[in-house]
């Protein structure tokens, strides 16, 4: 899970504070926070990571190692699976996993068609790891 998706997850666990509320609490500007969550490239610095780790009450290392893992990794896996017609298995933080064909993916979600024909829209921020 990339830093962006992990921050999104932490925000969900904390009850969904807005970037403005996070900015007020941490001093990390809301625009930077938003970019850290959404940008393709790594955004932010050590100071921001430390402040956010304190705010979300997680070890800073949990944020640090994800810093160099941009959202591109999951996107690339989704594109490859979609273009090559291979199923992808998404393991969720809830402990569940879904394997299926990628119909579409975007900023926040992925639509999979499962082997039994059912479709499920998985939110990207819940994907912990994946296999193709």
Partner 1 sequence: MEDLWKIRQRKQMSIAQLSSRSGVPVERLREYEAGREDIRTDDLPRLARALYVEEWEIKLRSDPIPAKAAAQEPAGRAKRKPEGRQRREAKPGQPPQPSAPARPSQITHLQALLQRLALKQAEVEVAIGKPFAELTRLEASGLLGELQRRLTAERPAREKGKRRRPYLPESVDEFEFRYLTAQQEAARPIEFTLFNGQRLSGQIVGFSPYAITIRQADGAEVTLQKLAIAYYRVPGGEVVP
Distance, CA of 98 to CA of 114 (rounded, Å):
7
Residues in the chain: 132
x/- letters, 3..42, toward partner 1 (CB under 8 A): -----x--xxx--x---------------------xxx--
Number of residues that bind partner 1 (CB under 8 A): 38
Spell out, one character per residue from 61 to 100, where the chain touches partner 1: x when CB under 8 A holds, - when not: ----------xx--xx--x---x--------xxx-x-x--
Q: How far is the CB of 85 from partner 1 (least distance, A)?
A: 12
User: Least distance to partner 1 from the beta carbon of 27, Å?
Assistant: 22
Q: Does 57 bind partner 1 (CB under 8 A)?
A: no
Q: How many CB atoms lie within 10 A of CB 118?
A: 10
Considering the rule CB under 8 A, would residue 105 count as an interface residue with partner 1? Answer: yes
Give long-range contacts, CB 8 A cutoff, 24+ apart: 18-22: 22/52, 22/55
Q: How many CB atoms lie within 10 A of CB 36?
A: 22
Query: Contact with partner 1 (CB under 8 A): which of 65, 121, 131, 132?
Result: 121
User: Taking Cα atoms as reference points, which of 34, 37, 32, 35 lies closest to residue 4?
Assistant: 37
């Amino acid at each position: 899970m990339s830093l962006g998706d992990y921050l999104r997850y932490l925000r969900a666990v904390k009850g969904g504070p807005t970037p403005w509320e996070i900015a007020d609490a941490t001093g990390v500007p809301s625009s930077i926070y938003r970019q850290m969550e959404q940008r393709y490239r790594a955004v932010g610095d050590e100071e921001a990571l430390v402040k956010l780790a304190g705010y979300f009450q997680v070890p800073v290392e949990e944020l640090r190692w994800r810093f160099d893992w941009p959202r591109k990794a999951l996107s690339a896996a989704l594109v490859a699976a979609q273009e090559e017609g291979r199923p992808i298995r998404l393991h969720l933080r809830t402990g569940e996993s879904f394997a299926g064909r990628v119909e579409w993916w975007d900023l926040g979600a992925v639509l999979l068609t499962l082997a039994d024909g059912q479709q499920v829209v998985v939110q990207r921020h819940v994907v912990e790891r994946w296999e193709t």
